Amino acid sequence: MRVRISHDARPQAMTLLAAAVISIVLWFIPFAEVLTYPFRIFVTFIHEGGHAIAALLTGNSVGSLSVAMNASGETYTTQGGLVSQTFVASAGYLGSMAFGGLLLVLIRKAIAARIVLIGSAAVIFALTLIYGILTPIFSWGVLSGIPFTFLAGASLSVGLVALAKFASARVVTFFVSFLAVQCVLNALLDLKTVFFLSSPFATRVPTDAVNMANATGIPAFIWATIWIAIALAILTLAMRIYVVTRDSRIQPDLRFEEIPRS
């Protein structure tokens, strides 16, 4: 079926491009990581949440989820069979990419940006409360990560809700695009790092790819390559939905702005 760039998607594409350019420029500005630090923590929550959700979907249990000040994270789960381990290990990086793509799709499908932000806040709050605090306390989870995980999760949740409530529609819409870009770019950068760390000539560092290599016997760099390919496929699909429409009988595209609610 023939496809074309939707005319009304062009302003959305420009908004997304601006968010991407700003994100990349910040990489080259000294000390700009201070500005992007909350976004890195957000992506870490999504990454670790991906592991936790995948564990639950494959019949395992989650012992704890924690986020550290250096934006790293850990999720402790019970281990199932090979298929379960593969799904759980893959769900971190691919979950971050999928979440970023989902943000783009939601606002493209006329879901109000404010609702998207509040939904994101709810996700962070649920991960923090259930797996960052309650589960470690009442099970075999690790307790040392609770203080910062609580502080980071609560701050992000409150910040996202406050932004959704008090910021203008244009600011909220741009922020959702920027958040989506951060999820996507951080997932790709992390996968690039994992790929190089998985090289046979690199110093052995514990990563999800190394965990998969230990479980399957398949080299870590192959797992990293597979994840990169899947991540790019997810990104391609999300971008296609975001800016492209089909020449068939579909609902007309909607503008990239809030829909008035009655």
Percent helix, strand and coil across the chain, each to the nearest 5: 70, 5, 25
On the question of pLDDT at 139 being above 70, the answer is yes
Average pLDDT of every residue of the chain: 83
- CA gap 215, 217 in Å, rounded: 6
pTM assigned to the model = 0.83
pLDDT of 120: 96
Residues contacting 180, CB < 8 A, separation 6+:
16, 19, 100, 101, 103, 104
pLDDT of 256: 37
pLDDT of 114: 92
- CA gap 236, 241 in Å, rounded: 9
On the question of pLDDT at 2 being above 60, the answer is no
Phi, psi of 75 (to 5 degrees): -130, 125
